Amino acid sequence: MYTVKELFPTLQGEGTHAGRAAVFCRFAGCNLWSGREEDRSTAVCQFCDTDFVGTDGDGGGKFATANELADAIEAAWRSTGAGPQQRYVVFTGGEPLLQLDEILIAALHHKGFEIAIETNGTIKVPKGVDWVCVSPKTGSELIVLQADELKLVVPQAGHHSLEKLMARFEGMDYRHRYLQPMDGPALKSNTELAVSLCQKRPLWRLSLQSHKLIGIR
């Protein structure tokens, strides 16, 4: 059984694949926050701006089998008139690795999909995922130390020395490293911070939430 909050066609908004046609599949549930506001102040991750509770989003629901969910993802891809080329699905959450498994990965590969995930990096990645983006959260135990992409949201509570943290990540096996300014009331100053750090440490690039800038999901 797979529990999906929402499932919809869009464009990837962040990182290396920004602007690429994709289906987003947001799994319900996370291991760093319950998703309930009353628990936010005691959660490991306190800045999440995403609703990942329940199944009431567009395309959401409970899917009994991997093939059933793969069929729904394929239907979402086709709903825009997209052809069979460059099929791309992004699993996110919450934390997608609480649910994504090798059976679902195989079902989607059979349909020609490239599979991407955005994970907090605290759960082992199953075999077969084509693109792994790790977005680490302060206070959690990072175990995914090798990935295609690292996206560090800045600043987070507990970031006492960002440059020391960045230097630590520079010693790990991430192909691409991004700083993404924390959204919210301090977005302008957070963006200035991220720009300054990218200029100072050129192993990093700036990631913006382009989907928010152009008004899509």
Report, as residue numbers or ranges, the catalytic residues: 24, 30, 45, 48-50, 118, 211
What is the token pair recorded at 182?
């924390």
Return all residues near 217 (Cβ < 8 A) that are at least 6 apart: 8, 10, 24, 211
**What's the N-to-C CA distance of the chain in angstroms?**
26
Sheet holding 146-154, edge to edge: 61-63, 2-11, 21-27, 88-92, 114-119, 131-134, 146-154, 173-181, 205-206
Cα separation, 139 vs 9, in Å, equals: 33
Return all residues near 143 (Cβ < 8 A) that are at least 6 apart: 121, 122, 123, 124
- 216 SS3 class: coil
Annotate 159-171 with b (16+ C-beta within 10 A) or e (fewer). eeebeebbeebee
What is the token pair recorded at 68?
């059933």
